Amino acid sequence: MTSAVRSAAAADFDARMESWRARMERALDARLPGADAVPSRLHEAMRYAALGGGKRVRPALVFATAATLGIDEDTVEAAACAIELVHVYSLVHDDLPAMDDDDLRRGRPTCHKAYDEATALLVGDAMQPLAFHWLATDPKLPPSPAVRLRLIDLMAQAIGTAGMAGGQAIDLQSEGRTLSIAEVDDMHARKTGAVIRASVMLAAECAPQLPPEHRASLERFAAAVGLAFQIQDDLLDVIGDVATLGKATGADRERGKPTYPALIGVEASQARMRRLHEEALSALALFGDGAAPLVNLSNWLLSREY
Ligand code: GRG
């Protein structure tokens, strides 16, 4: 591929990401309770946290997987909204003083700074059931009760102790301690990887006739991308720029968090990320050119600067 063709393909993909972001903004705006509905301060805070920011990586994974499997965006839109909502809840709770105690998120004051701690707790408490409600009731997701149950269970597994909440607990317990690489991988797989995997597999569940080997390839892709994405996040905390990231840097080292750069250094972390990236791309080989949306998304994700 010549560099002109490569940059045209990158520009096309940027436009696609932008269209997914715009779709998510409209879809979340329409689905979230209105700020004028009682309890209005809580609804306003939910809208503050969920709208107008974020890269929308998890919804992009839902849409790119759907495109790879020939499923239209309308069918999976509610799943994309649900996974983004649980992600937003986790950011709101993670920023609280009892957890990471951050003032800045997505380039704006964190939810508890803009409102108050009790409201930020309730924002998370209300977002979780709302995400499940969308999966259970959205009219465009596949109507089969068996598929709905699998979507709901996938989400539940991804955010419970086997997933995000468990990873966060390990993260908090690990501050100031040295973990092995295997332990860091396990923490990352739960804290970040489980929701990344769920983004891909929610879309896969909407293709009930998917052959088992295609499903297994998507699982391998998601596992590699999830870990690589978290290593990139760890690296950005060391070498990223506050203005570009829209959040503070250096926090992991200050808190003595066991991250990849802290354990093996920046260059070895970059090398590990590149290997995982290659693993992710090779897992997609089975889909041929049809996997272009996922290939382009992983290229974008792992070269991001924010
Ligand atoms: C509170 C149960 C609970 C979990 C919190 C999400 C999380 C778990 C902690 C946030 C801190 C962190 C570095 C988590 C790893 C996942 C991650 C990279 C989050 C940031 O995701 P981005 O970069 O954020 O996709 P945007 O704002 O673009 O959506």
Cα of 144 vs centre of ligand 1, distance in Å, is 32
Site to substitute for ligand 1 among 127, 192, 236, 300, most atoms within 8 A of C-beta: 192
pLDDT of 12 reads 86
The minimum-distance atom of ligand 1 relative to the CA of 246 is 27
255 by Cβ neighbours in 10 Å (0-12 / 13-18 / 19+) ranks as: middle
The minimum-distance atom of ligand 1 relative to the CA of 247 is 27
Question: From atom 26 of ligand 1, which residue's Cα is the shortest distance away?
Answer: 54
pTM above threshold 0.85: yes
Give just the sign of the alpha carbon dihedral 216, 80, 194, 132.
Answer: negative
Cα of 172 vs centre of ligand 1, distance in Å, is 14
Give the Cα separation of 250 and 177 in Å (integer): 17
- φ, ψ for residue 163, nearest 5 deg: -125, -125
**Are 28 and 22 within 8 A, CB to CB?**
no
Cα of 192 vs centre of ligand 1, distance in Å, is 7
Cα of 185 vs centre of ligand 1, distance in Å, is 16
Question: From atom 16 of ligand 1, which residue's Cα is the shortest distance away?
Answer: 192
Question: From atom 29 of ligand 1, which residue's Cα is the shortest distance away?
Answer: 54
Per-residue pLDDT 10s for the chain (306 aa) are 566 666 667 778 899 999 999 999 999 999 999 999 999 999 999 999 999 999 999 999 999 999 999 999 999 999 999 999 999 999 999 999 999 999 999 999 999 999 999 999 999 999 999 999 999 999 999 999 999 999 999 999 999 999 999 999 999 999 888 899 999 999 999 999 999 999 999 999 999 799 999 999 999 999 999 999 999 999 998 887 666 666 666 777 777 888 899 889 999 999 999 999 999 999 999 999 999 999 999 999 888 766
pLDDT of 220 reads 97
- φ, ψ for residue 95, nearest 5 deg: -80, -10
pLDDT of 247 reads 65
pLDDT of 242 reads 66
Ligand 1: residues with CB < 6 A are: 54-55, 57, 87, 90-91, 93-94, 106, 164-165, 168, 191-192, 230, 233
One-character DSSP codes across 222-264:
HHHHHHHHHHHHHHHHHH--HHHHTS-SSHHHHTT---HHHHH
* Check whether domain 3-303 has CATH 1.10.1530.10, yes or no: no
Cα of 90 vs centre of ligand 1, distance in Å, is 7
pLDDT of 83 reads 98
Q: Is the previous residue joined to 293 through a cis bond, with omega within 30 degrees of 0?
A: no
Q: What separation in angstroms does the CA of 220 have from each of 25, 104, 202, 225? A: 30, 34, 15, 9
CA 260 from centre of chain: 19
**Strand extents, DSSP E, the chain:** 104-105, 108-109
Token pair 């890269």 is found at 55
pLDDT of 6 reads 61
Give just the sign of the alpha carbon dihedral 167, 168, 173, 176.
Answer: positive
**Are 222 and 205 within 8 A, CB to CB?**
no
pLDDT of 239 reads 84
